[in-house]
């Protein structure tokens, strides 16, 4: 069982997101919103699921990437004709 303020904060965030979207949220989204390491969030979520306090879709694989259009827009447009931004 994981206890502490960070676990409570994760639960509170997940509940708030559920109220807004009526859907689950990813560990990546929680980690980004709360400025927490992703692996710590996953440990908390797995512990909660193991305690029967939620469910996880363990078959999902997410990859995070970001694009900064202010720095790469010209390179994308030059290298790929089909991309329009």
Local confidence band at 85 (pLDDT 50, 70, 90 cut-offs):
very low
Alpha carbon distance 45, 39 (integer Å): 10
- Output the six-digit token pair for 49: 């699921």
The three-point CA angle 45-38-61 to 5° equals: 80
Q: What is the mean pLDDT of residues 34-46?
A: 92
CATH class of 5-79: mainly alpha
The pTM assigned to this predicted structure is: 0.67
Name the residue ranges covered by the structural domains of the chain: 5-79
- Residue 74's pLDDT is 52
DSSP 48: H
Alpha carbon distance 84, 41 (integer Å): 36
Measuring CA to CA, which residue among 42, 14, 16, 17 is closest to residue 28?
Answer: 42
């Amino acid at each position: 069982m994981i206890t502490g303020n960070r676990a409570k904060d994760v639960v509170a965030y997940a509940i708030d997101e559920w109220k807004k979207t009526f859907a689950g949220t990813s560990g990546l989204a929680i980690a980004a919103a709360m400025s927490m390491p992703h692996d710590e969030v996953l440990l908390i979520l797995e512990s909660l699921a193991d305690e029967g306090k939620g469910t996880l879709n363990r078959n999902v694989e997410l990859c995070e990437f970001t694009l900064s259009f202010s720095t790469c827009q010209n390179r994308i447009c030059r290298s790929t004709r089909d991309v329009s931004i």
